[in-house]
């Protein structure tokens, strides 16, 4: 069974592309969704309280994701800490999930920060979803009702598109001009044959 890492910068359309792969019967592990589940664990919350502070928690004692995102995307040390806490736990979940999908010809691990954390070596191939920055910003503004400055801060913590495209084995262009489904179908056929 081949393991494929798929990534792309914020607003590139990773989820849309992954949903197309799923419609073809390919199992997809969503690292960002799995990470969000970890934030409800008491041990994780306690470590965040101790190392980030209580300002990212609501009165009920739960993590306020918007406050956490605002904090870590303005503070590199906090971002590095969160990544060092959460990503090993996500990969542990991935390993358990993978054991349930051994019948698949290949599976996909979706992660926004695949190259940023040198995770590409864990996969047989990598795919980048590319979309020009201007379009990505507009998408995220519409999707999340986010402020442009906040989006730009998040983008500044991600690897440049050109570098991701060069590092990837395969690139899917999601710029609104090139059709996604034929690109995904071509890659799907290639991965089935490899």
Give the count of domains, the chain.
2
How much is the pLDDT for 70?
85
| Number of neighbours of residue 22 by Cβ within 10 angstroms | 12
Interatomic CA distance for residues 110 and 126, integer angstroms = 10
Asked whether the predicted pLDDT for residue 160 surpasses 80, the reply is yes
Confidence of residue 97 (pLDDT cuts 50, 70, 90): very high
Alpha-carbon torsion angle 122, 127, 133, 137, nearest 10: -80
Which residues span the domain enclosing 84? 32-100
Residues 123 and 170 in one domain: yes
CATH number of the domain encompassing residue 19: 3.40.50.300
Work out the average pLDDT over 86-112.
94
Asked whether the predicted pLDDT for residue 7 surpasses 90, the reply is yes
Work out the average pLDDT over 80-85.
91
DSSP string for 93-127: HHHHHHHTTTTSSEEEEE-TTTTTTTGGGGSSEEE
* CA-angle at 22, arms to 19 and 23, nearest 5°: 90
Give the burial string for 74-92 (b: 16+ CB within 10 Å, else e): eeeebeebbbebbbebbbe
Asked whether the predicted pLDDT for residue 101 surpasses 80, the reply is yes
| Number of neighbours of residue 25 by Cβ within 10 angstroms | 9
Residues 44 and 72 in one domain: yes
pLDDT tens, position by position, 41-55 = 999 999 999 999 999
Burial category of 111 from C-beta neighbours within 10 Å (exposed 0-12, middle 13-18, buried 19 and up): buried
How much is the pLDDT for 190?
94
Look at residues 58, 76, 100 and tell me which one is the last residue of a structural domain: 100
Instruction: Name beta bridge partners: 7.
Output: 128
How much is the pLDDT for 142?
86
Q: Where are the beta strands (DSSP E) in the chain?
A: 2-7, 28-30, 106-110, 125-130, 170-173
Confidence of residue 161 (pLDDT cuts 50, 70, 90): very high
Look at residues 45, 80, 100 and tell me which one is the last residue of a structural domain: 100
Residues 161 and 85 in one domain: no
Confidence of residue 14 (pLDDT cuts 50, 70, 90): very high
Percent of the chain with pLDDT strictly greater than 70: 100
Look at residues 100, 124, 159 and tell me which one is the last residue of a structural domain: 100
Work out the average pLDDT over 28-38.
93
- The reported pTM is 0.87
Work out the average pLDDT over 74-81.
88
Asked whether the predicted pLDDT for residue 157 surpasses 80, the reply is no
| Number of neighbours of residue 34 by Cβ within 10 angstroms | 20
pLDDT tens, position by position, 108-151 = 999 988 998 888 999 999 999 999 999 999 998 888 887 888 88
Instruction: Name beta bridge partners: 141.
Output: none
Confidence of residue 155 (pLDDT cuts 50, 70, 90): confident
Residues 44 and 132 in one domain: no
132, two tokens: 């020009």
């Amino acid at each position: 069974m081949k393991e494929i890492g798929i990534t792309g910068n914020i607003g590139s359309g990773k989820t849309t592309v992954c949903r197309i792969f799923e419609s073809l019967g390919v199992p997809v592990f969503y690292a960002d969704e799995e990470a969000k589940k970890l934030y409800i664990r008491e041990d994780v919350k306690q470590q965040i309280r101790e190392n980030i502070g209580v300002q990212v928690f609501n009165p009920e004692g739960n993590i306020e994701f918007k406050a956490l995102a605002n904090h870590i995307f303005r503070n590199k040390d906090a971002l590095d800490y969160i990544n060092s806490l959460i990503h090993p736990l996500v990969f542990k979940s991935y390993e358990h999930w993978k054991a349930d999908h051994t019948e698949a010809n290949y599976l996909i691990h979706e992660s926004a920060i695949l190259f940023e954390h040198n995770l590409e070596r864990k996969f047989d191939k990598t795919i980048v979803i590319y979309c020009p920055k201007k379009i990505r910003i507009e998408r995220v503004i519409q999707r999340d009702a986010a402020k442009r400055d906040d989006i730009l801060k998040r983008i500044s913590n991600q690897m440049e598109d050109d570098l991701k495209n060069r590092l990837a084995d395969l690139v899917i262009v999601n710029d609104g001009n090139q059709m996604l489904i034929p690109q995904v179908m071509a890659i799907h056929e290639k991965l089935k044959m490899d």
